[in-house]
Amino acid sequence: MDQLEPKTVTDPKAWRALAHPIRVDIVQLLTEQAALRATDLAKTLGIETNSASFHLRQLARYGYVEVDDSGHGDSRERWWRSTSRHGFQFQIPDSTDGTGSSSTDLDAARTLLGIMTAQIHTRVDEWARTVLSGADHASDPSETSNHDVALLLTEEELRDFRSEQADLMHRWMALRHEPSDEGVGLLTYRHVGFGWIDRSRLQPEVDQSASDD
């Protein structure tokens, strides 16, 4: 529980275990909050408590969640927490040596990615509704943000950028408040971000004439 980076998951069986919208939501909620019970998750997600308990057991089997034994007021019911306070990242093994992912494994990865993509679309829709709602808080520039930029960087600069970006996120994710904290005005700030190397964009050619002179 002390790692400062997302937990890397490479086992295709674990991908398949998470490839369910309810389970993705459960992992997300337990990453955001210190610990929750099956009844808490059921109420939030609009499902039956026994269904939430079943999904929790399956997620625990593959290392996403665990029972929280740190002590809670209500000991009649299990409390659950994420095994990674900074979330999870999914890595497909390299297949260049012929021992990489099979087509079945890739199908599992695609299914999980599809569910996560749908979740991202939902978040973006929520952001758009907030911006367009006309509410007073939505008109405050400090309440919402968006950006779509393309950075032209060397490989070393890209590594530095991603490292600095991760450090910033991890620092603030490590600051954990309990939802029941009294006297603290807590706000849920939702940040959705993703990046990739866009190989479809033409890269500027190096002018060799300058070096030949």
In a domain, 187, yes or no: no
In a domain, 158, yes or no: no
User: In this predicted model, which residue has the larger pLDDT, 85 or 3?
Assistant: 85
Segments forming the whole domain that contains residue 31: 7-148
Count structural domains, the chain.
Answer: 1
What's the CATH code of the domain at 75? Answer: 1.10.10.10
Instruction: Give the pLDDT score at 147.
Output: 80
In a domain, 188, yes or no: no
- The answer on pLDDT for 6 being more than 90 is no
| Cα 177–Cα 83–Cα 1 angle in degrees, nearest 5 | 70
In a domain, 37, yes or no: yes
In a domain, 170, yes or no: no
Neighbour order of strands in the sheet with 36-37: 36-37, 79-82, 65-67
Report the pLDDT averaged over residues 92-104: 61
> What confidence tier does 207 reach under pLDDT thresholds 50, 70, 90?
low
In a domain, 40, yes or no: yes
In a domain, 50, yes or no: yes
Task: Look over the chain and give the mean of its residue pLDDT values, rounded to a whole number.
Answer: 81
Q: What is the pLDDT of residues 68-92, one digit of tens each?
A: 987 665 567 899 999 988 788 887 7
Q: What is the pTM of this model?
A: 0.72
